[in-house]
A and B are shown apart, each in its own frame.
Chain A
Amino acid sequence: MAHFTKATGVKDWLDQRLAVNKLEKVMMSEYWIPKNINFLWAMGMVLVITFVMLVVSGIFLLMYYVPTTAEAFNSVNYTIMREVDFGWLWRHVHGVAASVVFLIIYIHMFTGIYYGSYKKGRELIWISGMLLFVAFSAEAFSGYMLPWGQMSYWAGMVITNLFSGGSLHADGFVEWIRGDYVPAQAFLGRFFMLHVLLIPLAIMGLIGLHFGALRIPHVNNQEGEEIDFDVESKKYLDGDKAGSKVMRFANDFMSKDMMVVGVFLIFFFYLVFYNYGFAMDPVNFDPADGLKTPAHIYPEWYFLWSYEILRPFNIDLGLVLFAFAQVIFVLLPFLDRSPNTCAANRRGPMFAIWFWLMLSNMIVLTSMGKLPPEGIFSTIGLVSAILFVVMWLALPIITSMEKKV
């Protein structure tokens, strides 16, 4: 057995058995963060806090929710909302957080694109981040099924139908996913399992990978500057804190991080208490009815842009472009051929235009996805969808023409 000495205190006792001092250094006190960053670098911590709120509120909802087609609707809308003391709080926290988490994810993503935080050495951070986006999308969709209202049912119907692959008519595959000819008990049961167990496990694993992928390349900074972390951290530890380009993760950076989190939480609970309606579709307050389609079926706002890419085309082309839109962001580190790691606006006009046009186009697609598919909206949606695809195809070309900054 390894040699142990009499511990001088609780921390030393733990240190001998778990190496907590080393752990603290690696994870916190000697995990170096560049000073040259801004509040957008706090979005990761905002996401962690939002995820924790989703888990905690989810645990309380789970105690009263009944995953059967007969009971689900009432267990949410009657038991949790009317009978459980503060049940409304957990539901509204859960619903608002599920919506807001996507807003923060999009900000986090576009911050990464703007500052080139996916470039050489940081590819895995980007890829694990996009896998998290996929996992969060699956989590949001499966959770949306659970209240078993009209939107739950019909979103479940429409989205599972996507898996028939258009003209491939893989109806057997769709029935396999559902466990029935239509969304019913088997469907609700398995999506309940996915929502409360399998996907959350996957998300936690991916968060570990996302943080792990960050540890060696370190976070990017506003200039995209390559920092010698050994030299700069030595400067810091030798006492030249002002001259060093880096600071400790904890407590230096954490204090600012948590300041942003505090501001976010005030905004978040303002929504929870006074403006939760946007996260609660009125159509979903009607119980699921397999013989009545709601007049308009639309997804939650965070899926609208990809839905709008599906919509203007015939089913096969729509599905191909939809699949393209789902995977193309993952490939960003390999499609961007430029050697520059810096803010989009400083990489020359081409990429700057690409970035701002992509961001605006996503907002246009999101708006059009919400509007009924008629007249001018159809046309704008079609043009935006085509523009989205063309821009991604053009990305390798315009970035390989980019000059080294």
Chain B
Amino acid sequence: MKNSSRRGFMGKAFGAVAAVGAVGSLVAMKKSWDPLPSVRAAGFTTLDMSIYEEGVMVTEKWRGKPIFVLKQSAKMLEKAKENPRDIERLIEIAGSHYMVCVGLCTHLGCIPAFRPDTNDFKCACHGGEFDASGMVQLVPPPRGFDIPPFKIDGSKLVLGEASPEWQAMKDSGITL
């Protein structure tokens, strides 16, 4: 009886030591899988917005992802103004409206193609469609294109840095 209670104590004592070690190892393992500081530090891109032409879709790159930049033509802007959900998605810089979005389908991350004749985007993977302001028009994508964190700096746009304008979009659910 005495023996078994001693063994019981030793078992519990080892269990406590092992539990601390196990938790510690799991923390270390989790952290080792985190994105490296160098990866995080490379996460900023600055775009000069004055070079874009109206109605021409340009793909830029930010954090390895494609960024769709589409300076809205008068026709696109007119259409966007009909729907508040559309016009709110556009970024106004020096009097022009731009769609600046992460160019990945919000369904499973394929890159939709821009169709200049219909001024919209079509994803080849599962058939999702987005309009010229990046709003979803046809499922399966659950929402419009995500808008990357941005900061307006004169005629430049810094991607990766949140500004009050972007925060407002996020808070009102326009983007994630």
Binding site for B on A (CB under 8 A): 154, 157-158, 161-162, 166-167, 169, 171, 175-182, 184, 186, 190, 290-297, 311, 313-316, 318, 373-374
* CB-CB nearest in chain B for A174: B109
Q: Collect the chain B residues with CB atoms within 8 Å of residue A374's CB.
A: 127
CB contacts between A and B, total, < 8 Å = 82
- Is chain B's binding surface mostly helix, strand, loop or mixed? loop
A291 to B63, CA, bound (A): 11
Q: Are A190 and B33 in contact (CB under 8 A)?
A: yes
A293 to B109, CA, bound (A): 9
Q: Are B140 and A158 in contact (CB under 8 A)?
A: no
Q: Are B63 and A295 in contact (CB under 8 A)?
A: no
B1 in the interface (beta carbon within 8 A) = no
Q: Are A179 and B39 in contact (CB under 8 A)?
A: yes
Binding site for A on B (CB under 8 A): 30, 33-36, 39, 43, 59, 61, 63-66, 107-112, 124-127, 139-142, 176
25 A-B pairs in the complex with CB atoms less than 8 angstroms apart: A154-B110, A158-B108, A158-B109, A161-B108, A166-B142, A175-B35, A176-B34, A176-B35, A179-B34, A179-B35, A179-B36, A180-B35, A181-B35, A184-B64, A290-B64, A290-B65, A292-B111, A293-B111, A295-B124, A297-B125, A311-B126, A315-B107, A315-B142, A318-B140, A374-B127
Q: Are B36 and A186 in contact (CB under 8 A)?
A: yes
Choice from A167, A186, A290 contacting B39 with Cβ under 8 Å: A186
* CB-CB nearest in chain A for B146: A171
Choice from B33, B65, B111 contacting A177 with Cβ under 8 Å: B33
Q: Collect the chain B residues with CB atoms within 8 Å of residue A177's CB.
A: 33
Q: Collect the chain B residues with CB atoms within 8 Å of residue A181's CB.
A: 35, 39, 43, 63-65
* CB-CB nearest in chain A for B34: A176
Q: Are B110 and A180 in contact (CB under 8 A)?
A: no
Q: Are B108 and A373 in contact (CB under 8 A)?
A: no
A373 to B111, CA, bound (A): 17
Smallest distance from the beta carbon of B27 to chain A beta carbons, Å? 13
